Amino acid sequence: MLKGIVTVSLKQDVLDPQGLAVQHSLQSLGYSEAQNVRIGKSIEIWLDESDLKKAELRLRKMCEALLVNSVIENYQIEILELPLELEE
């Protein structure tokens, strides 16, 4: 069993109104050092697969099919191997 983590973020040229709102809120709370806040999402997917290359390929296909809007979003994939005691 492998755990895939897909981190999705807006492309740099895409306006991020949610990130801008959080930045303004942080600054109004006194965190003036908060700059260029961007909001993204993290998706965890447990895969019934033991081959890392196959798992990465399947995750990329999932991203392209449903999880990511490639016009406005970028993504990164991380695959974690679980310790044996967590697999049972």
Superfamily of domain covering 2-87:
Phosphoribosylformylglycinamidine synthase subunit PurS (3.30.1280.10)
pLDDT at 83: 74
pLDDT at 87: 53
Q: Distance (Å, rounded) from C-alpha 47 to C-alpha 1?
A: 6
Mean pLDDT of the chain: 94
Tens-digit pLDDT profile for residues 50-60 = 999 999 999 99
Q: How far is CA 17 from the centre of its chain?
A: 18
Give the global pTM: 0.85
Tens-digit pLDDT profile for residues 47-86 = 999 999 999 999 999 999 999 999 999 999 999 997 766 5
pLDDT at 45: 97
